[in-house]
A = this chain, B = another copy of it.
């Protein structure tokens, strides 16, 4: 008996049980004062209403797409001898089934993550009244529920489908991944709409609330007098947690399947060259899943070891970092052991540790991404300070400086990613096995994603602490409690920025792996045999045009996301202005009557409707573009070039990915830098928030006003378009994987 599948099932099922335990632990905590509860309930209600409506729309679209997929594979495409199964109908059934299963799991993972986090927020807020350590742990463990659930479910889904196909059909094991690629695509499909919809929701509310609240009315963030404030807090949950959960769910799912395809092809090459692995083809193919399973356990240990020192004076970020390092070290140790176990080829004794080094390279890459993100988005460093400095001459120079920083920040990640790709490729080549370069890049991606559960826990920590801060602020708790939640909130902002850097880095590495899986698949489906070299030759006009369209797709998609936020935010602004219209102003500052009660519900309604309506077009654009290119460019197929349409799609995919990565870096980091430039000024730099005149009168500091403009512009950049581009990149890969046979 082989141990791979049992280990995978035990670890992932165990993690789900553990997540359930964590959720119970979090839910058992105190829920604070009635005032806090009222606010938390309002958030919960808004978030659940939105999620319900959003999931209904997404599931409808997914069902539609599943039907098209089934018809396309089952009836339109005719059966070929070299198909992995014996009939069109069987192929269609497996692909559609895995698509539907992936979509359902992704919806479920996103929903549960949000369900816990909208309950963890008030418990974090309440705990902050007594102990910062407790608050930190509640927020992190609340986040961990989401993190563990996402990663374990994605693993369980892939392994379960694999085992199912293996049990009920007679397919050659190495071809099973071709049947279950739909799982990753189903997950991406849901992730895209969830991230776009949630991203539009969160930023439309945030931009609207900021512009009228902070700038026009001069009231602080999360002030209860702002009618858009509840919508803003709801947005943190539906955009940041649910969206990111679905995003990382599909990252790990797609990457697992892609790596399985490459592992199977490596092992079969090696076998033919007489250099077979001791663990067999199945062992190599399941290597990614086993490594991931151990990674989850490592992440659990890391999460449980996070705590503050006794006096609570340490930086909470330091506590989180310590947990992360523990998780990384354990995960790497397990990675090394698994490499030795499953990637051992007696004929190439040095192979296993070459692959292990690829994994280490992946981890180092993720660390580099984290440091680069910090440099470009924290106010200790030159970039953010230059934006703050530029704010002195008004909003226009603030914007110019921020866009400059955003465009500039792409250079280091591009170099690091290039070095990681080439490094792992050449490490793989040096392993002594034939065709092992690409598997090397795949292993680097696995290394990077080994601690995905921990990273996702830190990411969801962000919206939980953000919400906790909002609840404390709105329920008007004493200053020292606010200071505690502010500390956690600021750490949450950092973790959110860092995980975005991590997500984009892993998307970049994973994409290269998925390209190769796509190319492998095209060759297999075209029945061209393993020796055939499928190229993506940009110098062919058809491929070049595919590439041009891929790059354009990124621009157009970003435009649609950004414009959606802009127009939804305008609706919010008009609504808040309407509610404020009758209040009196002194010296341009609104004088709120003591009994002022804003209408939160109207803002929640407006933004829910807009987000649901506006998420459809960008989502469909991404899903339909590669299909349109692949099918249209079939007219260029000729006997000398049978794969030209598939090649054009590959050009689209690869260049779309390159541009998507750079555009996401631009959007994420310029947004983060603007945000922190504003915060830097709020710490007192360049005059702070208010200026005091010679007569002692307080006036708004125009430098701060200029920085708020930049912060607002950055909102849809960093929280709508940027993270949605991560999903776009991966969706392009998974959709082409699933639809490849249709382009032949």
Chain B residues whose C-beta falls within 8 Å of the C-beta of A400 in the assembled complex: 207, 562-563, 565-566, 569, 712-713, 716
Contact status A215-B541, CB under 8 Å: no
A438 to B650, CA, bound (A): 22
* CB nearest to A560 among chain B residues: B408
Given A559-B407, A566-B401, A570-B393: A534 touches B539 (CB 8 Å cut-off)? yes
Report B-chain residues with C-beta under 8 Å of the C-beta of A241: none
Given A400-B713, A712-B396, A407 and B536 touching (CB < 8 A)? no
Say whether A63 faces chain B, with CB atoms less than 8 Å apart: no
Q: How far is the CA of A702 from the CA of B441 in the complex (A)?
A: 54
Chain B residue at minimal CB-CB distance from A535: B537
A202 to chain B, nearest CB (A): 15
Contact of A545 among B399, B418, B537, B655 (CB under 8 A): B418
A85 to B417, CA, bound (A): 41
Return A622 CB to nearest CB of chain B, in Å.
Answer: 13
* A390 sits at the interface (CB 8 A): yes
Chain B, residue nearest A571 (CB): B393
Residue of B nearest to A654 (CB): B538
Q: Is A229 an interface residue when CB atoms closer than 8 A count as contact?
A: no
Complex Cα–Cα for A394 and B713 (A): 11
Complex contact B556–A541 (CB within 8 A): no
Which of B394, B415, B537, B542 is the one whose CB lies under 8 Å from A537?
Answer: B537
One digit per residue, 1 when the CB lies within 8 angstroms of any chain B CB and 0 when it does not, for chain A 684-715 equals 00000000000000000000000011001100
A-B contact pairs, 27 of them (CB 8 A): A207-B396, A211-B393, A390-B570, A393-B574, A397-B566, A399-B713, A400-B562, A400-B569, A401-B566, A404-B559, A404-B563, A405-B563, A407-B556, A407-B558, A407-B562, A410-B555, A414-B552, A417-B548, A418-B548, A422-B541, A422-B636, A538-B654, A544-B658, A547-B654, A548-B661, A555-B662, A555-B666
Tell me the residues in window 2-22 of chain A with beta carbons closer than 8 Å to chain B beta carbons. Answer: none
Known: A418-B549, A562-B403, A709-B709. A539 touches B541 (CB 8 A): no
What are the 9 A-B residue pairs with the smallest beta carbon separation, nearest first? A407-B559, A404-B563, A408-B559, A396-B712, A414-B552, A418-B545, A400-B566, A536-B538, A535-B537
Nearest Cβ distance between residue A446 and chain B, in whole angstroms? 17
- Say whether A551 faces chain B, with CB atoms less than 8 Å apart: yes
A312 CB, min distance to chain B CBs, angstroms: 38
Q: Does A447 reach chain B (CB closer than 8 Å)?
A: no
Q: How far is the CB of A526 from chain B (nearest CB, A)?
A: 15
Asked whether A395 is an interface residue with its Cβ less than 8 Å from the other chain, the reply is yes
- 14 new A-B pairs (CB below 8 Å) besides A408-B555, A551-B658? A393-B569, A393-B570, A393-B574, A397-B569, A397-B712, A407-B559, A414-B549, A415-B549, A422-B545, A535-B537, A536-B537, A539-B654, A544-B658, A659-B659
Which B residue sits closest to A546, measured CB to CB? B418
Interface string of A219-257 (1 = CB under 8 A from B): 000000000000000000000000000000000000000
Q: Which residue of B lies closest to A404 (CB)?
A: B563
CA distance A215 to B397 in the complex (A): 13
Q: Which residue of B lies closest to A665 (CB)?
A: B555
Nearest B residue to A407 via CB reads B559
Distance of A533 from chain B, by nearest CB (Å): 9
In the assembled complex, the CB of A531 is this many whole angstroms from the nearest CB of chain B, namely 14
A371-414: which residues lie under 8 A (CB-CB) from chain B? 390, 392-397, 399-401, 403-408, 410-411, 414
Task: Tell me the A550-584 residues at the B interface (CB within 8 Å).
Answer: 551-552, 555-556, 558-560, 562-563, 565-566, 569-570, 573-574
Residues of B within 8 A of A188 (CB): none
- Evaluate contact between A539 and B538: CB separation under 8 angstroms: no
Is A92 interfacial (CB 8 A cutoff)? no
Q: Which residues of B contact A563 (CB under 8 A)?
A: 400-401, 404-405, 408
A470 contacts B by Cβ under 8 Å: no
Bound Cα distance from A205 to B161, whole angstroms: 64
Given contacts A418-B549, A573-B393, contact A541 B408 (CB under 8 A): no
Q: A724 to nearest B CB, angstroms?
A: 13
- By beta carbon, the residue of chain B nearest A541 is B425
Chain B residues, Cβ within 8 Å of A658: 544, 547-548, 551, 655, 659
Shortest distance between the CB of A275 and any CB in chain B (Å)? 20
Instruction: Check: A285 CB closer than 8 A to any chain B CB.
Output: no
**Could you mark each residue 497-535 of chain A with 1 if its beta carbon is under 8 Å from any beta carbon of chain B, else 0?**
000000000000000100110010000000000000011
- The minimal Cβ–Cβ distance linking A429 to chain B, given in whole angstroms, is 10
* Shortest beta-carbon distance from A440 to chain B in Å: 9
Residues of B within 8 A of A541 (CB): 421-422, 425, 437-438, 441, 512
A136 to B655, CA, bound (A): 46
Q: Number of copies of this chain in the oligomer?
A: 2
A658: shortest Cβ distance to chain B, in Å?
5
CA A535 to CA B544, docked complex, whole Å = 12
Contacts of A538 in B (CB 8 A): 536-538, 547, 650-651, 654-655
A548: chain B residues within 8 A (beta carbon) = 414, 417-418, 658, 661
Contacts of A215 in B (CB 8 A): 394
Indicate whether A390 sits within 8 Å of B709 (C-beta atoms), given known contacts A418-B548, A535-B535, A539-B515: no
How far is it, in angstroms, between the C-alpha of A211 and the C-alpha of B398 when the chains are bound? Answer: 12
Chain B residue nearest to A208 in the complex (CB): B393
Task: Kindly name the residue among A407, A565, A659, A709 whose own CB sees the greatest number of chain B CB atoms within 10 A.
Answer: A407
Q: Contacts A519-B539, A570-B390, A650-B539 hold; do A547 and B655 have CB atoms under 8 A apart?
A: yes
Q: How far is the CB of A539 from chain B (nearest CB, A)?
A: 5
CB contacts (< 8 Å) of A536 on chain B: these are 537-539
State whether A410 touches B211 (Cβ < 8 A). no
A415 to chain B: which residues have CB within 8 Å? 549, 552
Candidates B207, B437, B556; contact of A410 at CB < 8 Å? B556
Q: How far, in angstroms, from A712 to B555 measured CA to CA in the complex?
A: 22
What's the Cα separation between A16 and B558 when bound, in Å? 47
Are B555 and A211 neighbours in the complex by a CB distance under 8 Å? no
Q: Which of B397, B425, B661 contacts A211 (CB 8 A)?
A: B397
Q: Point out the residues of chain B lying under 8 angstroms from A519, CB to CB.
A: 539
Would you call A399 and B709 a contact (CB within 8 A)? yes
Most B CB contacts (10 A, CB to CB) among A548, A562, A574 go to: A548
**Can you name the residue of chain B whose Cβ is closest to the Cβ of A215?**
B394
Chain B hits for A405, CB < 8 A:
559, 563
Minimal beta-carbon separation of A195 from chain B (angstroms): 18
List the B residue with the shortest CB-CB distance to A408: B559
A66 to B407 Cα, complex, angstroms: 31
CA distance A52 to B137 in the complex (A): 66
Q: Are B403 and A545 in contact, CB atoms less than 8 angstroms apart?
A: no
